[in-house]
Structure 1
Amino acid sequence: MHILLLFPVFWPDELGGCALYSDLARYLKERGHRVTVVTSFPFYPRWQYYPQDRGVAYRVEDWEGITIHRVRMYIPQQPSGVKRILSDLSFLFNIGRTIPWTELRPTVALTAYPTLGTCLAFRLWLGHTPRMLMIQDFVVDAALELGMLKVPLLAQILPLVERWALGHFNAVSSISPQMVTRAKQKVPSPCPVLELPNWIHASLQMGIDRYRDHVVRQWQTQTITYSGNLGVKQGLGDFLEIFRDHHQGWTLIIRGEGAAKRDLAQWFQPGPRVQLADLLEEDAYCQSLLEMPLMLITQKAGSGASFLPSKLLSALVAGVPVLAFCELGTPLAQEIIAGGYGWVVSDQKGLAHVLKTITIADLQQKSVHARLRAEQYSRERILSQYEKVLTKLAQKSM
């Protein structure tokens, strides 16, 4: 069948859902399907286009036998709530006037939320093509809860637009039990909402396997590593406020890119206990995962009910214990507690206690639990379910 995938981020973008979306396209191609991707030019997480792509309005590429249609969109240098909406709308407008929708004629189509524009595009231009939605986050809720939308009219209109955009899908999935429950309240559609968690993508798995027998984990170093997107929802600044006075001799290494990087560098001057470094390429990142004794994952208070960070899967496949700074009861907290591979803290007292009492034996035990938990997120197990859903939609439309 001919499968259309619509995402604003795709290979070679990094972090977040970028690697997952690219791996999904690869998997479907490996399974013998014809795959077409509609996306933008690479910009994430730097929030700027590469020099060679600036000024280019539209381009068609071939990537591993997958046809990619790329269009421009507005990329704000300093993303905010309103600017992100404008960026999303610019993507919607440009794919509407640029992509030859009538010529593509896919058998089935799939997109992901939190990009509201792609959901609107499916309603506007795909006619009766069966379509699937994978919910990664509830972007409108997160923006309202975090105060990212300071225009009262937008705060009233966006939930209505969201409901209309999400109401015309034939299949819906989300990534955790809590988000499935929330999606059932959000999606005004009779179709069931499936739980399909994110998966350990192929290039990450291969990178870890390549170095697993050659890299020694540095259990004794008392270092915590944060690696990934630096944005409002991550809440890293809140963690740093506490960590500076309650580090208990641990050192935090921050490797990342994103909208909040400049602010973090201004607010927290690098020192012996907090080090800022560049984001690693995937090959070096895989090696670092096998060396680090403890990974930090943070979530801004008020946003954690909406999403499960994709970087969690990197920790699991590499067997890295996790320190989560988030609200108790969130999908992230419940996943770590259920898997038994880390610690969840939400305040300075909890952080100080954990950092003071962690032993190497504790870390090693959590590492074993992380490796065991990774089996639940295997690529074949999860992506085969996506293929089954898409195939069933295609068969129903015949």
Structure 2
Amino acid sequence: MKFLILTQYYPPEVGAPQVRLQAMIRELVAKGHQVEVVTAIPNHPLGRYFPGYKSRMYSWEISQGIKIHRTWIYPAIGAGLKRIFNYLSFTLSSFWGMMKAGRPDLVWVESPPLFLGWTAMVYSCFRRVPFIFNIADLWPDSIIDLGLMRNGLAARMLYMAERAIYNRAKYVIAVTQGIRDRLINSKGLPARKILYLPNGVDTEMFRPSPVDMQLAADLGLAGKDIILYSGTLGFAQGLGSVLEAFQIIRDSHRQMVLLMVGSGSERNKLQQMAQERNLDNVRFLDPVPPEMINKYLSISLAGLVCLKDLELFRGARPSKMFPIMSCGKPVIFCGRGEGARLVHDSKGGVVVSPEDPTALAKAIADLAGDGETSKQMGLNGRDYALKYLSWKRIVGEWLNQLESRQNDGNYE
């Protein structure tokens, strides 16, 4: 089968969608399918074009044997009009990239942003090719729940667009059971139209490895107990409470350091907060390629995953927890719902109430003081990742779902 992937986010950018899509594509190709990608000029999460890339309407390249079509985007981060222009610019320009690609059997659309569904609908009508709509985050629900948009006229228009996209899509893909349930119970989609493709992990790239003493020395962190947060520093993560937790344990655990690797709309605010509170036990580093995360985890006591305390996130299972588990490190999960249940079921870490700095400080101190329990959690997480979270298994099961729908006559 020939797949055409439409996504605003793709490597060399660093982030959950980029890692997920590249891993999925690798498995599709390994199973004999053909894939092309239409994506933007790399600019996220820095808000500027990456070195080596220029502002062009269209260009193409070959990466890891995949033809990638890149179209113009207005680079921006954060919220407001600039970010809207960022989304809409690629929504418009990406159609040209799709027309330059070969005619596929199926178009895969990565959302967010929701707007790419419009591009897919136009292309689908023009080329008479079905599209599937992959929902990694429910829009506009999430941006309204996060307080980034009022529930007014603009929101109603987005809900109308959402319904139109779901109606026109051949299938809609949910990445969590929570999203699947919401699509059925709140959005009214029939279960037969929904495919399930949860986040996974490359268990070969992310695997237990010896402590990288050179990296620790280069960072000036040799001999420190490191808690690693790697990923987007955004509003949805509620990371202010993490800094508060490290303020609580600063004096009692002088060897404990929070290492925050990433970028995002909240990074400047978090850095300012750390400076104002004299948190010398908090370090910020720029994003690193996925293959480097293994090295950072090797020098860490545990990996941290956080979400704000919102009902919407009860149905989330953040992909950043899976490399932690696959590398044999315990997960400290600050959240509720599906992600918390996964950590509990795997016995691969500890669960803390979201946005509770006192509880988080205690969990960190307990892990640091019990090396045997910490080690066993890491082993449990690695075992769980190998059994249930490998991309080879997950993509294979998803393809079986797709094939089953074809055989049932539900695929056109």
State the TM-score, normalized to the length of structure 1.
0.88
Cα distance, 1:236–1:113 mapped onto 2, change above 3 Å: same
- Corresponding letter in the other structure for 1:322: V
- 2:264 matched to 1:258? yes
SS in 1 for 2:149: coil
- 2:172 matched to 1:175? no
**8 Å contact kept, 1:130–1:393:** no
**8 Å contact kept, 1:114–1:138:** yes
Q: Give unpaired runs (5+ residues) of structure 1.
A: none
Partner residue in 2 for 1:225: 228
Partner residue in 2 for 1:140: 140
State the TM-score, normalized to the length of structure 2.
0.85
Q: Distance in 2 between matches of 1:27 and 1:52?
A: 28
- 2:72 matched to 1:85? no
CA deviations on 1:267-308 (whole Å, 9 max, x unpaired) are 221633212223333343212212311111111222523532
Partner residue in 2 for 1:234: 237
Q: Distance in 2 between matches of 1:199 and 1:89?
A: 29
Cα distance, 1:214–1:230 mapped onto 2, change above 3 Å: closer
- Corresponding letter in the other structure for 2:390: S
**8 Å contact kept, 2:229–2:305:** yes
Partner residue in 1 for 2:106: 108
CA deviations on 1:202-254 (whole Å, 9 max, x unpaired) are xxx33345x72575999984321111111111211232234312455232121
**8 Å contact kept, 2:227–2:302:** yes
Cα distance, 1:105–1:344 mapped onto 2, change above 3 Å: same
Cα distance, 1:69–1:195 mapped onto 2, change above 3 Å: same
Partner residue in 1 for 2:316: 307
**8 Å contact kept, 2:14–2:289:** no
Please report how far the alpha carbon of residue 182 of structure 1 lies from its aligned counterpart in structure 2 after TM superposition.
1.2
Cα distance, 1:49–1:103 mapped onto 2, change above 3 Å: closer
Partner residue in 2 for 1:153: 153
Please report how far the alpha carbon of residue 58 of structure 1 lies from its aligned counterpart in structure 2 after TM superposition.
0.6
Q: Give unpaired runs (5+ residues) of structure 2.
A: none
Please report how far the alpha carbon of residue 389 of structure 1 lies from its aligned counterpart in structure 2 after TM superposition.
4.3
Runs of 4+ in 1 over 6 A off after TM superposition: 216-220
Q: How does 1:19-98 map to 2 (within 5 A)?
A: 19-76=19-76, 78-80=77-79, 82-96=81-95, 98=96
**8 Å contact kept, 1:143–1:149:** yes
CA deviations on 1:157-208 (whole Å, 9 max, x unpaired) are 222222222222222322222221112235554434233211113xxx3334
**8 Å contact kept, 2:135–2:172:** yes
**8 Å contact kept, 1:39–1:70:** yes
Partner residue in 2 for 1:184: 184
Cα distance, 1:179–1:37 mapped onto 2, change above 3 Å: same
Cα distance, 1:284–1:4 mapped onto 2, change above 3 Å: closer
SS in 1 for 2:204: helix
CA deviations on 1:303-338 (whole Å, 9 max, x unpaired) are 523532111111111011011222x3x222222122
Percent identity (aligned): 25
Number of equivalent positions? 390
Query: Which segment is superposed worse, 48-57 or 150-159?
Result: 150-159
- 2:351 matched to 1:339? no
Q: Distance in 1 between matches of 2:186 and 2:133?
A: 13
